[in-house]
Structure 1
Amino acid sequence: MFTGIVEHIGTVEEFKELDTSESGGNGVSLLIKDATSILGDCHIGDSISINGTCLTVTEFDENTFKVGLAPETLRRTNLGSLKSGSKVNLERAIGGDVRFGGHYVQGHVDTVASIEKIDKDGNALNFTFKLKDLQYINYIVEKGFIAIDGTSLTITHVDHKQGTFGISMIEHTQKNVIMTLKHIDDFVNIEVDLTGKLIEKQVELQLSSQISNEESPLVSLIHKIVEEKLSKITK
């Protein structure tokens, strides 16, 4: 679990495709350097978020660490576009003594979005994004949370028909994340707020359970409404 508060910006040292003898099946090895500030308490098997993607440390030294990327990770995220020299947002998994400044971020990227517009607003920057998978717009609400490349941000506007949404980034955040290094049409990783997905699933399960039970309150209510409508028609 993460907070969406980026701790450090690292640099890709190596992006290497592995053969089956190395990875067990067409994976990728990613080596990140310039990461000394977050490796002081690192252990093999720890989770580190790279651009909002929770990944497992397989090797490390005082300045670098390595992770493996599965094909599913490459399909879901923008990590496949990384190359030597690319800058990435880094955050260690939270501990019990961490103040919670962002929101609950799993590091499980849902989809990517492209940058459609960047506008100055005083010393802030306003970004507009368009989702690749439009169904995720259902979980994005104005003034709600979202994680973009692992950065916890607040939604400023949403267009559910177009599948677009926006955020406003203050000057401090601009200096401490990679968003300002990106351009129009570049892709960012998106993790929507887990709360919306959980609520949707619970409502779906409850409705399914109620509808399948002829004696449930919901079915009884539906029958009552139908009977009342039919009685009005027959009068």
Structure 2
Amino acid sequence: MFTGIVEIMGRVTDVSPLDSTSSGGGGFSITIGEAADILVDCHLGDSIAVNGTCLTVTEFDTNSFKIGVAPETLRKTNLGSLKVGQQVNLERAMSAHTRFGGHMVQGHVDGTCTIHSRTEDGNAITFVFQVAEQWAELMTYIVPKGFIALDGTSLTVIDVDDEKRTFSIMMIAYTQTKVVMPQKAVGDEVNFEVDMMGKYTGKGVEAMIKRYLNGEEGEAIIAKAVDRVLAKRAAAGSQ
């Protein structure tokens, strides 16, 4: 679990395919340097969020660490487009005594969105993002003033347009110096993770509705609702 408060920006030093005998377990690996500040208490198998993606440390030294990236992760994130020299957001998994300054972030990226526009607003920047069509159903969980994690950064949603699949955030000057987003241009991909509490709530409501609609209990609830509407109309007509 993470908080969405990026600790440092590391830099990609190597991107390599892996065979089945390597530490990454086959597939794809990334080595990230300039990470000494978050490796002082690192152990093999620890979780570090890279651009908001929870990944397992397979090798490390005092300044860099390696992570393996599975095909499913490549399909859901922007990690497959990383190049040597690029900076990435880094956050260690939260500890029991962490000050909780962001929101509950799992590091399980839901998909990618693209930067639709970026507009200077004083010393802040307003970003508008468009969610890829294959993840359009996730717009349900993106709400004004709600949480969203973008490349692992906890941010507050300003506006949402479900029809256009867009939403916006504003990034203050301080945050701009601490995360990778300001380095990106219109059209670039950004990882997003919607608020996990919204997903759990939506799943529970959906299951409840299905249970009621598939049984006599559901029919009784609908009948009561219809009776209440008819009673209100009858009462209004008699006045």
TM range (shorter): over 0.9
Q: Which portions of structure 1, spanning 4 or more consecutive aligned residues, are displaced by more than 4 angstroms?
A: 23-26, 224-230
State the distance in 2 between where 1:63 and 1:56 align.
Answer: 16
State the distance in 1 between where 2:92 and 2:20 align.
Answer: 29
Query: What secondary structure, in the 3-state scheme, does the structure 1 residue paired with 2:54 have?
Result: strand
Which of 211, 214, 221 is residue 212 of structure 1 equivalent to? Answer: 214
Q: Which residue of 1 aligns with 2:236?
A: none
Range 198-207 or range 145-154, more displaced: 198-207
State the distance in 2 between where 1:6 and 1:229 align.
Answer: 51
State the distance in 1 between where 2:166 and 2:30 align.
Answer: 31
Check whether the contact 2:50–2:89 (CA below 8 A) recurs between aligned residues: yes
Which of 177, 201, 204 is residue 203 of structure 2 equivalent to? Answer: 201
State the distance in 2 between where 1:123 and 1:90 align.
Answer: 24
Check whether the contact 1:8–1:91 (CA below 8 A) recurs between aligned residues: yes
Which of 172, 179, 188 is residue 174 of structure 2 equivalent to? Answer: 172
* Structure 1: 5+ residue stretches without partners: none
TM-score (norm 1): 0.92
Q: 1:201, CA displacement in angstroms?
A: 0.5
TM-score (norm 2): 0.91
State the distance in 2 between where 1:8 and 1:25 align.
Answer: 27
Q: Does 1:106 find its partner at 2:106? A: yes
Task: Describe the shift of the 1:229–1:124 C-alpha distance in structure 2 as closer, same or farther (beyond 3 A).
Answer: closer
State the distance in 1 between where 2:103 and 2:109 align.
Answer: 15
Q: String of CA shifts for 1:50-73, please: whole Å, max 9, x gaps.
A: 000000001100001011000000
Query: What secondary structure, in the 3-state scheme, does the structure 2 residue paired with 1:180 have?
Result: helix
Task: Describe the shift of the 1:126–1:227 C-alpha distance in structure 2 as closer, same or farther (beyond 3 A).
Answer: closer
Check whether the contact 1:148–1:189 (CA below 8 A) recurs between aligned residues: yes
Query: What secondary structure, in the 3-state scheme, does the structure 1 residue paired with 2:63 have?
Result: coil
Q: String of CA shifts for 1:34-89, please: whole Å, max 9, x gaps.
A: 00000000000100000000000011000010110000000000000001111100
Q: 1:212, CA displacement in angstroms?
A: 2.6
Tell me the matched-pair count.
Answer: 229
Query: What secondary structure, in the 3-state scheme, does the structure 1 residue paired with 2:212 have?
Result: helix
Task: Describe the shift of the 1:111–1:46 C-alpha distance in structure 2 as closer, same or farther (beyond 3 A).
Answer: same
Range 129-138 or range 14-23, more displaced: 14-23
Q: 1:19, CA displacement in angstroms?
A: 3.2
State the distance in 1 between where 2:180 and 2:221 align.
Answer: 53
Q: Which residue of 2 aligns with 1:63?
A: 63
Range 149-158 or range 221-230, more displaced: 221-230
Letter in 2 for 1:45: G
Q: String of CA shifts for 1:183-205, please: whole Å, max 9, x gaps.
A: 01000000000111111110111
Q: String of CA shifts for 1:69-122, please: whole Å, max 9, x gaps.
A: 000000000000001111100000000111000000000000100001010111
Aligned positions of 1:125-136 closer than 5 A? 125-132=125-132, 133-136=135-138
Letter in 2 for 1:158: V
Percent of paired sites with the same residue = 54
Q: String of CA shifts for 1:146-167, please: whole Å, max 9, x gaps.
A: 0000000000111011000000
Check whether the contact 1:26–1:71 (CA below 8 A) recurs between aligned residues: no
Range 204-213 or range 169-178, more displaced: 204-213
Q: Which residue of 1 aligns with 2:51?
A: 51
Task: Describe the shift of the 1:24–1:122 C-alpha distance in structure 2 as closer, same or farther (beyond 3 A).
Answer: closer
> What is the alpha-carbon root mean square deviation over aligned residues?
2.0
Q: Which residue of 1 aligns with 2:76?
A: 76
State the distance in 2 between where 1:4 and 1:26 align.
Answer: 29
Q: Does 1:189 find its partner at 2:191? A: yes
